[in-house]
Structure 1
Amino acid sequence: MKKLLQVDTLPKHIDVAILIARIGIAALMLTHGLPKLSMLLSGEPVQFLPFMGLSQEVSLALAVFAEVFCSILLLVGFATRLAVVPLIITMLVALLMVHAADPFQMKEPALHYLLVYVVLLLTGSGRYSVDYLLQSKADRKAFSLSN
């Protein structure tokens, strides 16, 4: 678990690139998630893809969790590697189920999001994040000495 949340010490320009990717993709995903949150809270009948036997309401709630809550975590860089997992799953569902029969142009946005989320899963949140601030100084120093 400790390694999962560990932030690697990278050159500063790489950390800036991760920061830009993290904030940019989180902000863009919020534009998809906030309308879904409004739909969920509206009290009106839900029109959403029922996924794997789940009701439309539960499927929508899971999408809202990923697209809003996980995007906020991503925005501040808290538990980044954990936060992108639901986002990756959501984009796989969008790519392989929601837009399965659509032309590539309709699948492309989900694929773009998916690629950035996979990169963030591999890189973590970078130096400019809550994850980095929470990581103890001793852990950061030990890591930088080992590299």
Structure 2
Amino acid sequence: MKSLIRRVLNTEIGSPRADLGILVYRILLSLSLINTHGMKKLLDIQGTIEHIPDPLGLGGVFNTAMALLSNIVCPIFIILGLGTRLAILPVVGTTLLGFFVVHAADPWAVRDVPFMYSLAFGFLLYLGPGKYSLDDRLFNR
């Protein structure tokens, strides 16, 4: 019983369970972003260009390209664990822009989504990709 309690309450960061948890977290978080926000933009690119917010005045085509980069391309790299921390930066940049600029006047219920994605990907930025990643295979062996 004592060993079971020790295993359940283990706080060792480098444990195999922690690395597996980071892998699952990376995959599910990225798939959520792709499925919820990326695919609808990809499947209707022309509609996205016409309706995407343009808070910085860069134009619909540029904003759509950046949205596709941060909602589809970067999450694929994050899932693979390839250039993970670099791939997270555009995602966090886009979600923070949504939180602070695009939805600044909206109620909290609307601002909550970009805020939660910013926190979730920011946490992954802090943790790194973990042992089960291409980054680990390529750069730590």
What TM-score comes out, normalization by structure 2 length?
A: 0.83
Say whether 1:33 aligns with 2:38: yes
Comparing 99-108 with 81-90, which one deviates more in the overlay?
99-108
Q: How many equivalent pairs are there?
A: 128
Q: 1:11 to 1:58 in 2, by over 3 A?
A: same
Comparing 44-53 with 127-136, which one deviates more in the overlay?
44-53
Relative contact order: is structure 1 or structure 2 higher (C-alpha 8 Å, sep ≥ 6)? Answer: 1
In 2, the alpha carbon distance for the partners of 1:28 and 1:103 equals 23
Residue 39 of structure 1 aligns with an amino acid whose one-letter code is: D
Q: 1:43 to 1:118 in 2, by over 3 A?
A: closer
Root-mean-square deviation (CA, aligned residues, Å) is 1.8
What TM-score comes out, normalization by structure 1 length?
A: 0.80
- Matched residue of 1:10: which SS? coil
In 1, the alpha carbon distance for the partners of 2:18 and 2:124 equals 12
User: Is residue 39–residue 46 contact of structure 1 (8 Å, CA) maintained in 2?
Assistant: no
User: Is residue 41–residue 48 contact of structure 2 (8 Å, CA) maintained in 1?
Assistant: no
User: Is residue 26–residue 79 contact of structure 2 (8 Å, CA) maintained in 1?
Assistant: yes
- 5+ residue gaps in structure 2? 1-12
Residue 102 of structure 1 aligns with an amino acid whose one-letter code is: D
Q: What is the correspondence of 1:66-145 to structure 2 with a 5 Å cutoff?
A: 66-137=70-141
Query: Which of the numbers 2, 16, 19 marks the counterpart of 1:15?
Result: 19
User: Is residue 51–residue 59 contact of structure 1 (8 Å, CA) maintained in 2?
Assistant: no
Comparing 67-76 with 50-59, which one deviates more in the overlay?
50-59
CA distances 1:57-91 after superposition (whole Å, capped 9, x unpaired): 11111011111000100111111100000000010
In 2, the alpha carbon distance for the partners of 1:114 and 1:20 equals 18
